[in-house]
């Protein structure tokens, strides 16, 4: 059966989580036209063996599970390779540390069947804590861990929102017109730079294309103890600031002003939230809201182009 959708999982040294991710995806038995493609971004752990284990466990009537290795380091390089290798007309990117719900794959396939001209969409993501949630981790910092929920209604994204990378899909043809992921942006090895998704969706919007939100394309993003430290959040924030600077390189003065007005509004918006936490005697949550914003600005101004 020719696949309509290729689900691409880019992975780098996350064999343990990848094992659980593939298990969660393959536990559901669908008679649907799709394939799974794992792009190993130069891992030196057991990633190839994990994929091989599941390839051997799939019977002859199972869905294809393919494996390729992209040695050029960087998430954007791995995603672009996945696009080129996909056998389907539509691609969906999933993280290597997710737990799929039963509705995830059918929701994506149904969407592209019912909206064949749609070029981009995003699904719902909730966080699954695999370690105790820190006292300073407020709801407003959960997007750093992948949380993304615009409600239970199918809709188009508002202009100030865009899908998250752990659950986003595209019509493959769109990359021919707007280009691939910017390889100067995104994570590379242990670097926590970002911005490649937002930059791509900006190009899609400039092309006057709608981006859809799919509430039933739902998954859980797993978060372990290593990502629940202040040092990790600081590294993420600094990476966001650095990525913002890279993303705005060559942009017009008006675009840069608009971007920084948005950042100032976010900073000012943190004030009433922090006051609410202070009123409820949650000082650590209030302090972290401002600290996070400070780290982003520091990442922007102290990074080199």
Spatial contact of 246 and 299, defined as CB atoms under 8 Å apart: no
Q: How far apart are CA 242 and CA 300, in angstroms?
A: 5
User: What average pLDDT score do residues 89-118 get?
Assistant: 96
Residue recorded with tokens 């030196």? 44
Least confidently predicted of 61-75, 106-120, 156-170, 271-285:
271-285
User: What average pLDDT score do residues 74-82 get?
Assistant: 94
DSSP 102: T
Can you give the pLDDT at residue 117? 92
* pLDDT higher than threshold 70 for residue 187: no
* pLDDT higher than threshold 70 for residue 240: yes
Residue recorded with tokens 């918006």? 269
Instruction: Report how far apart, in Å, the C-alpha atoms of 252 and of each of 158, 198, 248, 256, 258 are.
Output: 23, 17, 8, 6, 10
Q: Which structural domains are found in the chain, ordered by start?
A: 5-228 (3.90.550.10), 231-301 (no CATH)
Burial 121-157 (b: 16+ CB within 10 A, else e): bbbbbebbbeeeebebbbebbbebbbbbebeeeeeeb
Can you give the pLDDT at residue 106? 97
CB atoms within 10 A of CB 84: 12
* pLDDT higher than threshold 60 for residue 273: yes
User: What average pLDDT score do residues 154-182 get?
Assistant: 93
Element of type H or E holding 122: strand 120-129
Tokens of 270: 């943190």
Higher pLDDT, 266 or 138: 138
Total number of residues shown for the chain: 305
Burial 89-108 (b: 16+ CB within 10 A, else e): ebbbbbbbbbbbbebbbebb
Higher pLDDT, 303 or 233: 233
User: What average pLDDT score do residues 33-45 get?
Assistant: 95
The pLDDT tens digits of the residues spanning 198-239 come to 889 988 988 878 999 999 999 999 999 998 999 988 988 888
Contacts of 151 (CB under 8 A, 6+ apart): 215
Residue recorded with tokens 């190009």? 203
Can you give the pLDDT at residue 192? 47
Can you give the pLDDT at residue 239? 82
Q: How far apart are CA 194 and CA 185, in angstroms?
A: 6
User: What average pLDDT score do residues 59-66 get?
Assistant: 69
pLDDT band of residue 171 (cuts 50, 70, 90) is: very high
pTM: 0.86
Strand 155-156 with 90-94, pairing: unpaired
Average pLDDT score over the chain: 87
* pLDDT higher than threshold 60 for residue 193: no
DSSP 143: G
CB atoms within 10 A of CB 50: 26
Can you give the pLDDT at residue 69? 96
């Amino acid at each position: 059966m020719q696949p309509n959708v290729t689900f691409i999982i880019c992975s780098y040294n996350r064999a343990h989580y990848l094992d659980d991710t593939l298990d969660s995806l393959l536990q559901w038995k669908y008679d649907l036209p799709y394939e799974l493609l794992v792009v190993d971004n130069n891992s030196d752990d057991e990633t190839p063996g994990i994929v091989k284990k599941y390839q051997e466990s799939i019977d002859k009537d199972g869905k294809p599970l393919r494996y390729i290795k992209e040695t050029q380091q960087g998430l954007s390089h791995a995603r672009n390779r996945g696009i080129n290798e996909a056998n389907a007309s539509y691609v969906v990117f999933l993280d290597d540390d997710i737990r799929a719900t039963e509705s995830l794959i059918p929701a994506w396939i149904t969407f592209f069947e019912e909206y064949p001209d749609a070029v981009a969409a995003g699904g719902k993501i909730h966080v699954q804590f695999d370690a105790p949630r820190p006292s300073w981790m407020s709801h407003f910092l959960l997007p750093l861990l992948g949380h993304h929920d615009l409600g239970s209604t199918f809709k188009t994204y508002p202009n100030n929102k865009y899908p998250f990378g752990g659950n986003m899909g595209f019509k493959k043809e769109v990359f021919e017109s707007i280009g691939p992921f910017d390889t100067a942006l995104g994570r590379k090895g242990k670097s926590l730079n970002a911005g490649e998704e937002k930059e791509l969706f900006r190009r899609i919007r400039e092309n006057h294309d709608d981006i859809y939100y799919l509430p039933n394309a739902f998954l859980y993003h797993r978060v372990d103890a290593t990502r629940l430290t202040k040092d990790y959040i600081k590294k993420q924030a600094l990476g966001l600031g650095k990525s913002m600077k890279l993303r705005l390189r060559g942009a017009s003065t008006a675009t840069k002003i608009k971007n920084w007005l948005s950042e100032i509004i976010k900073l000012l918006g943190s004030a009433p939230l922090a006051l609410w936490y202070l009123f409820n005697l949650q000082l650590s949550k209030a302090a972290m809201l401002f600290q996070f914003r400070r780290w982003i600005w520091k990442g922007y101004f102290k990074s080199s182009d």
